[in-house]
Amino acid sequence: MTILPYLLAVWIFLVGLVGIVTSRNLIHLTVCVSICQSATYILLLAIGYKSHGTAPVFADIPTSRKVVDPVVQSLTLTDIVVAVAVSALLLALALKVFEAEGSLDPAEIAELKG
């Protein structure tokens, strides 16, 4: 097993995190959150990967064969669905903020100032 997928997941997460911290636009912020969430896909798939593993269909394979974990695959699909829902919600909120305030810059939004 190699450490490369884990390093890739950390790198993608850090790129998204830097984008979140330096974002001056709510749409850009939503894209950066999506990038951070995509790091979890790589992490989950790296956890569930088995070298020379076959698909988890147990009908016609011998019991001695290695198979990949189907739970990790289902968690990855669930993570994708949650990411789409979160992105849609954040984009809808950004649209409402733009309609109310006329700007997508978080620094210019009056109600966010303390």
Q: The whole model's pTM is what?
A: 0.82
Q: What are phi and psi of 71, to 5 degrees?
A: -65, -40
Orientation angle between helical segments 26-48 and 4-22, nearest 10 degrees: 170
Average pLDDT over residues 4-30: 95
- Please give the span between the terminal C-alpha atoms of the chain, in angstroms, as a whole number: 49
How many CA atoms does the CB half-sphere of 36 hold within 13 Å? 15
Mean pLDDT is highest, among 50-54, 65-69, 76-80, 107-111, for: 76-80
* The two three-digit tokens of residue 28, written as one number: 């850009």
Average pLDDT over residues 14-25: 95
pLDDT tens for 60-76 read 777 777 878 888 889 99
pLDDT at position 88 is: 97
> What domains appear along the chain, each with residue ranges and CATH number?
4-112 (1.10.287.3510)
pLDDT at position 93 is: 93
Which band of pLDDT confidence, cut at 50, 70 and 90, is reported for residue 40? very high
Average pLDDT over residues 19-47: 93
With 80 as the cut, is the pLDDT of residue 77 above it? yes
pLDDT at position 34 is: 95
Q: What is the per-residue DSSP string for 81-93?
A: HHHHHHHHHHHHH
